[in-house]
Amino acid sequence: MDYSLVVAIELLREVAGLILIATGLAIVFGMMRVINIAHGEFIMLGGYTVVLTTKQGVNIWIAILILAPLVVGIFGVVVERLIIRHLYGRIIDSLLATWGLSLFLIGFITVVFGNTVEGVTTPFAAVAIGQYRVSIYTLFLIFAAMAVIASVYLTLRHTKAGLIARATMQNPDMVETLGINSKLVYMATFGVGAAFAGLAGGLLAPISGVVPSMGALLIGKAFITVVTGGTAVVAGTLAASSILGSISQSVTFMFGPVFGDATLLFVALILLRLLPQGITGRIFTRSV
Amino acid sequence: MTRNISRRSMLKGTAAVGAAGALPLMPFAAQAAGEILVGGLHDLSGFIDFAGIPMNQIMLMAIEEINAGGGLLGKKVKGIVYDPQTNMSLYSQYATQLALKDKASVVMGGITSASRETIRPILHRYKTLYFYNTLYEGGVCDRNEISLGTTPAQTVEKLVPYTMGLWGKKVYTIAADYNYGQITAAWVKRYVEQNGGEVVATDFFPLDVTNFGSTISKIQSAKPDMVMSVLVGTGHLGFYNQWAAAGMKKEIPIASTTFGAAGAELEILKPEVANGIITSYGYYPSIDSPANNEWVAKVNKRYPEKTPLLSELSAFTWEGMMIWADAVRTAGSLDRMKLIEVMESGKTYTMPSGECSIDPKTHHAIRDVYIADLKDKTYIIKKKFSQVQPADTQLVCDLEKNPNSNKHYEISLK
Amino acid sequence: MLRNLPKDWLGAGFVVVLGLAILIFVPVYFDLFEVLQMTKYVVLALFVLSLAYIWGFGGILSFGQAGFFGLGGYIFAVSSINMGQTTLPFLIAIGLCVVFAAALGYFMFYGRLNDVYLGVVTLVVTLILYKLINHTAGPEYIIGTARLGGFNGIPSIPIMTLPWQPDQEMEPAQMFQYFMAILIVVYVLLHILIKSKFGRVAISIRENEVRSSLLGYDVRLYKLCIFMIGGAIGGGAGAMWASYQTFVDPNIFSLEWSAKCLIWVIAGGVGTLIGPIIGVIALEYLSFQLGQTDFINNLIVLGTILILVVLLMPKGLFPTFRDIFLKLWRRGGGQGGGQGDGGRLG
């Protein structure tokens, strides 16, 4: 019984992890059709923000929940102004440019901060479930992922800003005639996507090795999750993360991480074959 | 009438040369008259740069020291440094360049087994002496290579009984899912069983796994006396953080054959996460011997900023350079075979890591091995074993019988 | 008479002549090391052609050409180690890659997968291969006499011999010339294919799939054939790579190789054949040179250059230079012609 609870928590943890790393990319790709290969590096920047600011004495919660998204979000806006805004409609060029950006960021961080910085540890202890111990931070991650998804959904569905964002993505010209500066909307959206990446990096910092190359380990999974999910930001990410995360983690429990990893890829393959526009291309097409 | 254009009958100075000249003409390291060239092939950028950069720094420092002492054979030594950027194709290109174009006298480098196996056959083919200074799974049998790093039969064989004696006989192994991880895990199993213990499970992790929650739960379920970690790489660092987060540090101790091998984990993980992990290597910066104390002081003086992480990797790069230099002085020549014969003669060198000599049968090092605990970023040496033989490679390799061997044997433990 | 030839044939003809000149003169004027270097570029050029063709002239954005490259390499390695010769294994590698491409293509195109979703499927398949082969380190993973070797790969792959003469290994200069000849032949064949009816239908599919299908063409079948051709070329390049390096490892299936192939094509110019070849040579040469200097971190330089290429040369290296060249060379009223259909995918 205890073990089942532990397994359930671990499944949710994997799903939560996917949601966190994929949401920012889903916003940028789903809404703006920009492939941001540097998304992994944005996550890395969030991790570095947390590590470096806590070294200076900043409270870790402020670092994770406020500073990481803020810093990376602002950086995202800068990147958008300098590079991305020239590439709208040029989905392939965005691939090349963001790949260059990704290399640049890894090199830059290595030069400025070195490739070994002391990391942070989780601010929580562990809790006992029967004879097992589960890190409270794991539960916190699950909660955080739910908060992220909920906030994106509520913003897109129920606020004016969200409405404007969705409208701009659908038809920028029409939105302009209604008096809205679409360029500003693009900038803000990219910034928000970057901010979520930063938040993910910050949240993952206490339980990962924060090194310049940490983003490269995550980008593959994030990308596969986003595309499998389809164009709807919230429903797609939620659906894809849930299916991929829970199945792969179950297999990991039963057969080990090698098979679990391979299973995630196989499941994505089958999903894409059955639903060639991603999950939300067929199901929940009207959702956000 | 067909015109046979053979390679030999070409007219010179045609426009084609101009077009072909637009193609890359590789520059080669300018060899001033009377300079001895040492090639360095360490990753200075990319995933493994935290290992490669210190090795390169120490190699350059060794060259400076040799030159300060008058050079070799009356000539100055010069280092040629290439950065393969953790890219196997660049490794092979630079190795070929060092051998054919730069005509280096010796090459230091290669970190992962994959990179070593990319360049070893090239250097063997073009007869350029090669020193591989990184710890690995054992089995290289090549007279052109000197392998100074420790192998499982030297370290794991000592680590297992020591930690079992401390903690108990039930072991749970977690290992990186590739050759080194798999072979080392097999050695762990053999040594555990030889010492009357039991490996309750061995879990393998692909190198890019970052979430270890499920394995931590499984370990808790299995209740071993200790965890043996053969995890490798930056992705696997997360395990130690997650283990501590689950409050497991007080519950089950960890021993590792890989933790801190290049020194990076010490820096990246906080002390409360890293403390208590017991490891076994051929070198620790806290070895208390005159040779090591002097050497560490030298390193700190030479690199007061960006001090290289000191570990087997950097320390043995120093050893490789010094052993090579000593061989050159002893042989009085740069001739490769003469140098090899000097090094095979069983001479014992006093190095920061202790005493070491080169086993003529395998060209691996017979060296001192240590077991250490970790507390607040300092290694506390618990035990020292003198002159440990590279017994695993000796199982498969005998260069005295087969001097032309050119292979990396995978040591099978079935 | 020259004026009557279509401009793109002229361009292609120029490339072929240049290629032949390189083939003939390089071993004479360059030393061993440089010939070895250029052989590498020839093999990579063939690899990049596989993606350049299926994407630029078929509209198939495959993120996984590295999969065929790696498969070709591994199949060649295993067969040549087992068979003791290299000519048949080379053909086997190409053949099996075509079969694999047919299977994967059937899976994708008959499932109506498109653009980025198709890309991700090809990427996922390549990553699966990567993970599977990485796992094969133990002695039980052996095919005949060839151990798969896992992460460390397969060493000591036989050097290619002259066709059907198993005793005569190619010397480096011969290998360069044979590979260069293959590259030229493939280039010419692709050119002919593009100009043929098959090729024109393929381009129309790339431009507007729905319309082509409404005109009665079986879009899925055409795409399948194009994908199989890409698989054949990629697999052949992989076999050549394995023989050239005498070594193959799972890294060839990694995300990095897949991404680099895309980068080379984009940087060189999608929609041309020669552009991506220039792209791969330029970028690889750049990496090689960067690794020899200690000046700035290599990744910073490479990254900056890629960003600048995109911003300043939006059509890619080759089309940009070609347009500049033609503009300078314009003879009253001419326009930027050149080979291949210069259309870009958006």
8 Å CB contact of A114 and B206:
no
Partner C, chain B 47-86, Cβ-Cβ below 8 Å: 81-85
Q: Which domains does chain B have, with CATH numbers?
A: 35-150+286-367+388-408 (3.40.50.2300), 153-281 (3.40.50.2300)
Name which of A87, A104, A223 is nearest C299 (Cβ-Cβ). A104
Of B377, B383, B408, the closest CA to residue B393 belongs to: B408
Distances (CA, A) of A36 to A195, A239, C127: 13, 21, 19
Q: What is the DSSP letter of C84?
A: S
Q: Is the dihedral of CA B104, B107, B113, B115 positive or negative?
A: negative
User: Are B347 and B363 within 8 A, CB to CB?
Assistant: no
Q: How far apart are CA C140 and CA A130, in angstroms?
A: 41
Q: Which residues of A touch C255 (CB under 8 A)?
A: 219-220
Cα A90-A92-A97 angle, rounded to 5 deg: 90
Residue C218, min C-alpha distance to chain B (Å): 41
Q: Which residues of A touch B234 (CB under 8 A)?
A: 209, 211, 213-214, 217
Name which of A116, A208, A257 is nearest B215 (Cβ-Cβ). A257
Number of other residues whose CB lies within 10 A of the CB of residue A176 = 14
Q: Which site among B234, B240, B272, B303 would you substitute to test the A interface, given the most A Cβ atoms closer than 10 Å to its Cβ?
A: B234
**What is the Cα gyration radius of chain B?**
23
Q: Which residues of A touch C117 (CB under 8 A)?
A: 227, 272, 276-278
Q: What is the SS3 assignment for A167-220?
A: HHHHCHHHHHHCCCCHHHHHHHHHHHHHHHHHHHHHHHHHHCCCCCCHHHHHHH
Residue A256, min C-alpha distance to chain B (Å): 6
pLDDT-flagged residues of chain C (< 50)? 1-3, 334-346
**What mean pLDDT is reported for chain B?**
88
Q: Is the dihedral of CA C174, C177, C183, C186 positive or negative?
A: negative
Q: Which residues of B touch A119 (CB under 8 A)?
A: 241, 268-270
Q: Which residues of B touch A6 (CB under 8 A)?
A: 217
8 Å CB contact of A89 and C267:
no
Give the residue from chain A lying closest to C126, CA to CA: A265
Q: How confident is the model at residue B235 (pLDDT cuts 50, 70, 90)?
A: confident
Give the pLDDT confidence of C87-96 residue by residue, as tens digits: 899 999 999 9
Q: Which residues of A touch C302 (CB under 8 A)?
A: 100, 103, 107
Residue A129, min C-alpha distance to chain C (Å): 34
8 Å CB contact of C152 and B45:
no
Q: Which site among B126, B132, B178, B412 would you substitute to test the C interface, given the most C Cβ atoms closer than 10 Å to its Cβ?
A: B178
8 Å CB contact of A262 and C131:
yes
8 Å CB contact of C25 and B84:
no
Going by their DSSP bridges, the two strands B170-176 and B198-205 should be labelled as: parallel
Give the pLDDT confidence of C16-69 residue by residue, as tens digits: 998 999 888 888 888 888 898 899 999 999 999 999 999 999 989 898 899 999
Buried b (16+ CB within 10 A) or exposed e, C232-252: bbbbbbbbbbbbbbbbbbbbb
Of C260, C251, C256, C262, the closest CA to residue C130 belongs to: C251
Q: Is B353 helix (H, G, I), strand (E, B) or coil?
A: coil
Q: Which residues of A touch C125 (CB under 8 A)?
A: 269
Residues in CB range of C114: below 8 A, 6 or more apart:
A276, C209
Residue C44, min C-alpha distance to chain B (Å): 11
Q: Which residues of B touch A251 (CB under 8 A)?
A: none
Name which of B14, B24, B118 is nearest C37 (Cβ-Cβ). B24
Q: Which residues of A touch B268 (CB under 8 A)?
A: 116-119, 209-211
Whether the pLDDT of residue B143 is over 90: the answer is: yes
Q: Is A64 on the interface with B (CB under 8 A)?
A: no
Going by their DSSP bridges, the two strands B365-375 and B278-281 should be labelled as: antiparallel
8 Å CB contact of C28 and B10:
yes
**Cα-to-chain-centroid distance, residue A253:** 24
Q: What is the SS3 assignment for C2-30?
A: HHHCCHHHHHHHHHHHHHHHHHHHHHHHC
Residue A36, min C-alpha distance to chain B (Å): 20
Q: CB pairs below 8 Å between B and C: how many?
A: 136
8 Å CB contact of C297 and A110:
yes
Going by their DSSP bridges, the two strands B145-147 and B226-230 should be labelled as: unpaired
8 Å CB contact of A93 and C266:
yes
Going by their DSSP bridges, the two strands B106-109 and B129-132 should be labelled as: parallel
Residues in CB range of B396: below 8 A, 6 or more apart:
B139, B141, B409, B411
Give the pLDDT confidence of C270-293 residue by residue, as tens digits: 888 999 999 999 999 988 888 887
Segment B321-329 shows an average pLDDT of: 95
Q: What is the ipTM of this complex?
A: 0.87
Give the pLDDT confidence score for residue B17 in this predicted structure: 31
8 Å CB contact of A218 and B210:
yes
Q: How far apart are CA C80 and CA C93, in angstroms?
A: 10
Give the pLDDT confidence score for residue B414 in this predicted structure: 62
Q: Is B264 on the interface with A (CB under 8 A)?
A: yes
Q: Is A114 on the interface with B (CB under 8 A)?
A: yes
The pair of three-digit structure tokens given for residue A122, joined into one six-digit string = 């989780």
User: Are C64 and C51 within 8 A, CB to CB?
Assistant: no
Q: Which site among A12, A135, A259 would you substitute to test the B interface, given the most B Cβ atoms closer than 10 Å to its Cβ?
A: A135
pLDDT-flagged residues of chain A (< 50)? none
Residue type, C56: G
8 Å CB contact of B245 and A135:
yes
Residues in CB range of B228: below 8 A, 6 or more apart:
B160, B163, B171, B172, B173, B174, B188, B254, B255, B256, B257
Segment B87-103 shows an average pLDDT of: 90
